[in-house]
Structure 1
Amino acid sequence: MRIVSFNANGLRSAATKGFFDWFAEQDIDLLCVQETKAQTEQLQDQVFCPSGYHRHFHDARCRRGYSGVAVYSRQAPDEVCRELGWEEFDCEGRYLEARFGSLSVVSLYLPSGSSGDERQGYKFRVMEWFAPILEGWLRSGRDYVVCGDWNIVHTEKDIRNWKSNQKNSGCLPEERAWLGELLSGQGWVDAYRRLRPDGEDYTWWSQRGAARAKDVGWRIDYQLVSPGLAERLRDCAICPRELRFSDHAPFIVDYR
């Protein structure tokens, strides 16, 4: 089973850059998209409807052309969930869960705090509220793959300029400690780090300067898996940064 997580930074924009041509060649079973930046009715052209895939979207209600997540799957889900019960979060279109038997695959887009103190405060509130939900998922007896842009690096290996970013959103000590608690405390498994213990690869690059060309990046896109799936991790890859579908690169994980 191959699962891909991809922050498109606008799915219509990614399509014009050849994303769906690449997608058609990758033998993907499930694709989790973040930042569709579109309403579902704007994604009805054939390019957004690859043959053989079921599509599900959760659009932002509070602001058009903002946020939004999607799941493309070869198999039709038994159930699709779009709401977690907090309107301030749900209205931004940041969560979509597709259920297949005892397996849940989630497309998740956690907020960024880089625009200022107000959004950073909101990000911290989301983190506090979301941690018990994640713990509940682990206790549910279901297998979970939580794909998405978490907007947080975890360790020094996950960012090129470690020291200079300590006071920047996404690399704040409180954020990294929160993510660390999910992994070492709750028991979630970072698929990339399990498969690449010493890896120093990135999934996002600033669009300023020549960050991408110089590989001055951050690894903020993850597939976190419940412990029962850890032994099924086979391989992973981050799409070469030369393929510029977005400011993020698709992250691919193969499961046995």
Structure 2
Amino acid sequence: MPRTIRIASVNVNGIRAAVRNGMGGWLETADVDILTLQEVRAGDADLEKCLPGWEIVHHESHQKGRSGVAIASRVAPMASRSVLGPEPLDQSGRWIEADFDVDGEPLTVVSAYVHSGEDGTPKQEAKYAFLDAMEARLPVLAEHSPLAVVMGDFNVGHRELDIRNWKGNLKKAGFLRRERAYLDRFTGPAGQTVQCIDETEGTGLGWVDVGRTWAGEVDGPYTWWSNRGQAFDNDTGWRIDYHLATAELAARVSAYRVDRAASYAERWSDHAPVVVDYTLGL
């Protein structure tokens, strides 16, 4: 019998701080089945203390207190993997995959944390290397499981609708044309030539941006706000947190929302959870 699986993704900006600031209260009401986390910044023991009762797979950064991704679930995954590409990509705490069985249907879930980058620096080159590896991995994932979703903090706003102040960020990491071109290819029609924003051509991979598909042609809904000024209060945000699903899984979406805090004081991260309901077990 079909049932709804609720999958949420959030950059917690440090799991221990997020729990201290109220993440547990959100979890009590969100009714999430699978939760992907980015920027965990903690070891296995601390993560387990923060999420008691959850099954957890975790890829910790080799740099203590940095990055880290995890997948927490109500049922244990059948398998997990954390190798995205050549060294040092598979050691950076930025990619983890888990396979689940949902009433006889296979589901693959990925938590990804793309580098923030800085134009003209080695940080930006590391970001491009990660996105290159991600582009190579997506077709393999789709072949592995027709029902797959890659989610997390991509640190890229794809379109002008995804950043409130897009004109002021055209030359900044997070909205550079070369970065945005990756998402053009990721979400372009499978196997077809895609004209990218950076005036290059590429091949579409056929993945679906669930957030944009569900929300339509509207500003946002934003998922991250700077701590500077009144960005949160004025909703001057960025939509950089995604659910990128295979076409078959995207067709199973029944609900999408961004759990934006009611006020600045009630935030427990500078990102908001992105929550999607999928129908599985058909």
Q: TM-score, normalised by structure 1?
A: 0.94
1:87 corresponds to which residue? 87
Gaps of 5+ in 1: none
Q: Please state how far the C-alpha of 1:115 moved relative to its aligned partner.
A: 8.0
Pairing 1:187–2:188 present: no
What amino acid is the match of 2:60?
D
1:109 corresponds to which residue? 113
Provide the aligned C-alpha RMSD in A: 1.5
1:228 corresponds to which residue? 248
CA shift digits 1:145-176 (9 cap, x unpaired): 11100010111111101111000101001111
2:272 corresponds to which residue? 249
Pairing 1:5–2:25 present: no
| Residue correspondences, number | 252
2:60 corresponds to which residue? 59
Q: Whole-Å Cα distance in 2 between the matches of residues 141 and 118 of structure 1? A: 34
- 1:8 touches 1:248 (CA, 8 Å); kept in 2? yes
CA shift digits 1:66-93 (9 cap, x unpaired): 0001111111111111222422112111
Q: Please state how far the C-alpha of 1:140 moved relative to its aligned partner.
A: 3.0
3-state SS, counterpart of residue 87 of structure 1: coil
CA shift digits 1:102-124 (9 cap, x unpaired): 21001111111038611011111
3-state SS, counterpart of residue 30 of structure 2: coil
Q: Whole-Å Cα distance in 2 between the matches of residues 56 and 251 of structure 1? A: 20
What amino acid is the match of 2:210?
A
Alignment of 1:86-235 (within 5 A): 86-101=86-101, 102-114=106-118, 117-184=121-188, 185-200=204-219, 201-235=221-255
- 2:223 touches 2:260 (CA, 8 Å); kept in 1? no
Q: Please state how far the C-alpha of 1:42 moved relative to its aligned partner.
A: 2.8
1:35 corresponds to which residue? 39
1:49 corresponds to which residue? 51
Q: Whole-Å Cα distance in 2 between the matches of residues 157 and 236 of structure 1? A: 17
3-state SS, counterpart of residue 65 of structure 2: coil
3-state SS, counterpart of residue 145 of structure 1: strand
3-state SS, counterpart of residue 227 of structure 2: coil
Gaps of 5+ in 2: 189-203
3-state SS, counterpart of residue 251 of structure 2: helix
- 1:39 touches 1:60 (CA, 8 Å); kept in 2? no
Q: Please state how far the C-alpha of 1:125 moved relative to its aligned partner.
A: 1.7
Q: Whole-Å Cα distance in 2 between the matches of residues 204 and 141 of structure 1? A: 30
2:198 corresponds to which residue? none
Q: Whole-Å Cα distance in 2 between the matches of residues 246 and 93 of structure 1? A: 19
- 2:85 touches 2:133 (CA, 8 Å); kept in 1? no
- 1:190 touches 1:225 (CA, 8 Å); kept in 2? yes
Q: TM-score, normalised by structure 2?
A: 0.85
Alignment of 1:21-32 (within 5 A): 21-32=25-36
- 1:149 touches 1:222 (CA, 8 Å); kept in 2? yes
Q: Please state how far the C-alpha of 1:49 moved relative to its aligned partner.
A: 2.8
